[in-house]
Chains A and B, each alone.
Chain A
């Protein structure tokens, strides 16, 4: 418990340093572009692959489980849509990104810490937390919603393909996809994603930035970052769902 408070204290001290005006806008823009690529663009492919196959599996499973002739077959489209938009895309993809992006943020900062690169920034009079972490946070918060929207689209494409293989006609599927569609759900998913992006980037940065020791410590920091951000994502998923949807 005391340890948790200690971490929280250090986290907020770090965040206070992170949230500051960048020293030099030109250099900041360059960093930001670099991070957009690392944090966002490099995750597009994995998001597409995962979403397509999960979408397909969801629709096949729904159709198998609905072997009752009384249930209309457009339900497959509807169920896939809602499960993708409400949970799979925002939460599951965020968990995957916590693994991919979170560990890379933590190990990058961790190795910069143990090789004294962060010290080298500090002694030049640079606010290293602001310089290194702010671009990552902005890149994640800005880019993750796009990833989630891509995931939704590709997931539904997968669901359609999966539906075809389970003998759901395109017309039925499309009908289900549009049936009682609530646009608010998408907004809800994006709000969640923004929270998750903030959690992943700042929590992972926290663990990386505070690494002490050598190469082994970097590995440990990166594991701790993934575990902590995953738990926090699940916790906030619960809290946010409770607040927003009820």
Chain B
């Protein structure tokens, strides 16, 4: 469970997050939706300490991230898996080396144990046998899947995903979404997914939060979303013809 309380964030004069509070539940795929520039990426980067907050608290299962020593922050970060918007694979390392990297860095596992774990994670994301490929040889969907494998290799308690399916075709996007949801359930982790893809909202939307211009505008599940009367939310969700028709029916 991740809880954030009354977060304020400025970039210079740009007030990016305004009094934002959330409760992200364990074992659920928590969705953050909102249009481009609404502050979704900023929020995720704040959670992992890549951006400093101006005020507020961030609690990981009750532990206040900003109140603990840097050394302990580092420890805590090792329990967080993060899927970046572009995958962020290390481009001079092969698929196997990318996934193995956290193990090399932080564990004392033997070479055989590490390979076993890597192959297990590759199987999880359905990329068995692709160990030797380089990131430049992967398609967009494969890149995301390798990034997911790397994010879960250390068995994290938290998984943060920044637009996991941007730039993917609808079918691949759904495969990725399902994969994230499956991993969340199987390992009972706290997952947060940023997205502006309505397909994934309908597919995996459990605990949905809509942010608009840095403020929390609406919270609920996907059934509530379909029946909501919130104007801004409807403008965002039902921007496309398809979803307008869906709402009418």
Quick check: A125 and B78 within 8 Å, CB to CB? Answer: yes
Q: Is B85 an interface residue (CB 8 A)?
A: yes
CB-defined contacts of A27 to chain B, threshold 8 Å: 104-105
Q: Residues on A close to B: CB < 8 A? A: 23-24, 26-27, 34, 111-112, 115-117, 119-120, 122-126
CB-defined contacts of B84 to chain A, threshold 8 Å: 116, 119-120
Q: Is B88 an interface residue (CB 8 A)?
A: yes
CB-defined contacts of B45 to chain A, threshold 8 Å: 119
CB-defined contacts of A34 to chain B, threshold 8 Å: 92
Quick check: B104 and A116 within 8 Å, CB to CB? Answer: no
Could you list 14 further interchain pairs (A-B, Cβ under 8 angstroms) beyond the known A27-B104, A115-B88?
A23-B105, A24-B104, A26-B104, A112-B91, A115-B86, A116-B86, A117-B91, A119-B50, A119-B88, A120-B90, A123-B50, A123-B77, A125-B74, A125-B76
The 6 closest A-B pairs by CB, nearest first: A125-B74, A125-B77, A116-B88, A120-B88, A116-B84, A123-B48
> How near does chain B come to A78, taking the closest CB pair, in angstroms?
47
CB-defined contacts of B76 to chain A, threshold 8 Å: 125
A23-B105, A115-B88 are contacts. A120–B82 as well, Cβ < 8 Å? Answer: yes
What DSSP secondary structure best describes chain A's contact surface?
helix
> How near does chain A come to B192, taking the closest CB pair, in angstroms?
13
CB-defined contacts of A120 to chain B, threshold 8 Å: 82, 84, 88, 90
Quick check: A123 and B105 within 8 Å, CB to CB? Answer: no
CB-defined contacts of A23 to chain B, threshold 8 Å: 105
Residues from 91 to 132 in B contacting A, C-beta threshold 8 Å: 91-92, 102, 104-106
Residues from 1 to 26 in B contacting A, C-beta threshold 8 Å: none
> How near does chain B come to A66, taking the closest CB pair, in angstroms?
51
Quick check: A126 and B82 within 8 Å, CB to CB? Answer: no
Residue of B50, B85, B102 near A122 (CB, 8 A) is: B50
CB-defined contacts of A111 to chain B, threshold 8 Å: 91
A23-B105, A26-B104 are contacts. A124–B88 as well, Cβ < 8 Å? Answer: no
Q: Residues on B close to A: CB < 8 A? A: 45, 48-50, 73-78, 80, 82, 84-86, 88-92, 102, 104-106
- Give the complex CA separation of A112 and B106 in angstroms: 21
CB-defined contacts of B73 to chain A, threshold 8 Å: 125
CB-defined contacts of A126 to chain B, threshold 8 Å: 105
Query: Would you give 12 A-B contacts (Cβ < 8 Å), ordered by A?
Result: A111-B91, A112-B90, A115-B91, A117-B88, A117-B89, A123-B48, A123-B80, A124-B78, A124-B106, A125-B76, A125-B106, A126-B105
> How near does chain A come to B45, taking the closest CB pair, in angstroms?
8
CB-defined contacts of B77 to chain A, threshold 8 Å: 123-125
- Give the complex CA separation of A117 and B143 in angstroms: 13
- Give the complex CA separation of A26 and B92 in angstroms: 18
> How near does chain A come to B128, taking the closest CB pair, in angstroms?
24
> How near does chain B come to A201, taking the closest CB pair, in angstroms?
18
- Give the complex CA separation of A226 and B85 in angstroms: 31
Among residues of B, the one whose C-beta sits closest to the C-beta of A131 is B105
Among residues of B, the one whose C-beta sits closest to the C-beta of A120 is B88
CB-defined contacts of B50 to chain A, threshold 8 Å: 119, 122-123
- Give the complex CA separation of A117 and B86 in angstroms: 9
Among residues of B, the one whose C-beta sits closest to the C-beta of A126 is B105
Among residues of B, the one whose C-beta sits closest to the C-beta of A108 is B92
- Give the complex CA separation of A62 and B85 in angstroms: 61
